[in-house]
Amino acid sequence: MVEDNKQLASRIDGDLQTAHQEVNLLRQELADTNRRITELTGLTQDPQDGPDSPDAATTPVNGSNDPQAQRALIKETHMLSVTKVCCCSATVMIR
């Protein structure tokens, strides 16, 4: 019984380490995705204004007011979110 508990604890520890690594990878992917979305939207913010500042207005640049560019951005954002959901579901199903 003690040996069974040790094996179970070892398996749980391994699963926790794997989950921790996956969380770190997902955080990196999310940061990369957020950076990519920011690049695609072409938004700039005054560095003196914080994100919660009422004066933190964003200014569109690089033709981001173009409806075709906006549709392309929405489509790419949707595809990224679908890909992320599929990858996460596959990870859960494998376990």
User: How high is the pLDDT of residue 81?
Assistant: 73
Is pLDDT at 94 greater than 70 in this prediction? no
Interatomic CA distance for residues 77 and 33, integer angstroms: 9
Q: Can you tell me the distance from the alpha carbon of 77 to that of 80, in angstroms, rounded to the nearest whole number? A: 5
Q: How confident is the model at residue 64 (pLDDT cuts 50, 70, 90)?
A: low
Contact between 16 and 10 (Cβ < 8 Å): no
**pLDDT exceeds 60 at position 83:** yes
Note the pLDDT of residue 14. 96
Reply yes or no on whether the pLDDT at 39 is more than 90: no
Distances (CA, A) of 71 to 37, 44, 89, 91: 13, 20, 27, 30
Helix (H) or strand (E) holding 69: helix 67-94
Alpha-carbon span 88 to 1, nearest angstrom: 35
